[in-house]
Every structure is written in structure tokens, then in C-alpha cells.
Amino acid sequence: MQKISRVSRTKEEASQNYDRLSRWYDIFASSEKKFTDIGLEMLAVQSDESVLEIGFGTGYALLKLACSAHPKTVHGIDISSKMRTITEGKLQRVGLKNSAHLKTGDALKLPYDNSQFDAIFISFTLELFDTPEIPIILQECHRVLNTGGRLGVVALKKEDCRAIHIYEYFHKKMSTLVDCRPIYAKESIEDATFQITQNKKMTMWGLPINILLAKKS
């Protein structure tokens, strides 16, 4: 198994960077949406379930989750306060402001109770955390999920291919801007004692993508 690239920027740098990108993030992330949609379909949140999104960004998936889980409340946590402001504005415009509870913070210590959620969604976010932090986040997901709860993850997949090598070169040279990097999401989720129930592989601009659904035993 090849070594995963490390994340060198600080959490403060990440927060500031995503604050700066927040106004244009919907444009930058437009190519990710179809993969996020597939992940949401696999997660299949029902109207009586509670759900958390980690790294909700400008709210693309969170708005869909708020509709799926209505009238149950949806929770979200993101490191960028300006992303949160944009998402809250979107929720208000579609009449869902009271259906979602958003927090600004670091997912390394989730501010939620044990066994609080039926489902958790993480799309193009797990790979933003440094390698030693990934097991911690997944342990936190395990803690806040109900027994039998579901974890949906969409992530860049680490593979030995030209597209990944080029992408990792830019990640190394411009770590603040290109802070997302490919990881072994499936293996990390299994190491956190989740059971993988669905595993779909796709490509985006030649980059391998893993779309995973897992269950807390």
C-alpha cells in the first residue's frame, strides 16, 4: 500500500482559505456534485431519521438532506464560518432554516452526544484531514452514530496512476490551495470497525473516486 500524502497546512490556514473561497466555492466544486448525489442516494436518508453532514461547505448536500429528513432536524459542522453563513442563507431562502442546526468547528471532536444520529455524510472532506487525524474522525463518527447507523463517504481514492501522481505533485507544491488529496477511505473505514455495505468506484477528470456506504455494527 502506497504512502498517503500528508496535509501540511494548519487548521487556521484551512479555515481562512475556505472563508476566502466561500463566495466562489459553488463554481469550483461543481464537478463534485454528481458524485455527491450518488453518495446521497446510497445513504438514502428517511423522513424519520436524524442526520449529520461533516464539511457541509456551501450547503449543496445539506439542503438535500434537510429535504430528505424533514421534519427531523439535520445537523452540520464545517471549519469555515463564511461557508456556514452562505449555507444558512440558502436554508432560509427555501424555508428550511429551522430544519438544520449548523456549527463552525473541527470534526476531530464532534460536539454531539453518543448515538445521536442515524446517518452521517462526508463528501470530499475526509481527505482534507491529515493522515493521523482520519482514524480519530472515523472513531468520532462511530461514537455519535446509533447501532446500525450508516456512514456515507465520497472521497478521492489513492491509486498508482498518472492522474493521481500529477494531482499529488500540485498538492505538495500548493498545499494550501490543493489541500485535498487521495486516501484509502475504504480501508480506514473498515479499520474503524464499520462494515462496508456498498462500494462504488468512479472517476473525475481521470482521478479515481470512492463512493462508500458503511454500517455501524
pLDDT at 47: 87
Region 168-178 average pLDDT:
71
Q: How confident is the model at residue 98 (pLDDT cuts 50, 70, 90)?
A: confident
HEC letters along the chain: CCCCCCCCCCHHHHHHHHHHHCCCHHHHCHHHHHHHHHHHHHHCCCCCCCEEEECCCCCHHHHHHHHHHCCCCEEEEECCHHHHHHHHHHHHHCCCHHHEEEEECCCCCCCCCCCCEEEEEEECCHHHCCHHHHHHHHHHHHHHEEEEEEEEEEEEECCCCHHHHHHHHHHHHCCCCCCCCCECHHHHHHHCCEEEEEEEEEEECCEEEEEEEEEEC
Q: How confident is the model at residue 35 (pLDDT cuts 50, 70, 90)?
A: very high
- Candidate ranges 45-59, 68-82, 157-171, 175-189; pick with highest mean pLDDT: 45-59
pLDDT at 16: 92
Extract the C-alpha cell encoding 68.
Answer: 430528505
Extract the C-alpha cell encoding 21.
Answer: 473561497
Instruction: Sketch out the chain's domains with CATH numbers.
Output: 11-216 (3.40.50.150)
pLDDT in tens, 4-25: 888 878 889 889 988 998 888 8
By percentage, how much of the chain surpasses pLDDT 90? 70
Q: Give first-to-last CA distance, the chain, whole Å.
A: 26
More confidently predicted of 41 and 67: 41
What's the rounded Cα separation, in Å, for the pair 19 and 81? Answer: 7
pLDDT in tens, 137-165: 999 999 999 999 999 999 999 988 887 88
Q: Is-contact 112 144, C-beta < 8 A?
A: yes
- pLDDT of residue 192 exceeding 80: yes
Residue 71 preceded by cis peptide, ω within 30: yes
Q: How confident is the model at residue 108 (pLDDT cuts 50, 70, 90)?
A: very high
Entry pTM: 0.93
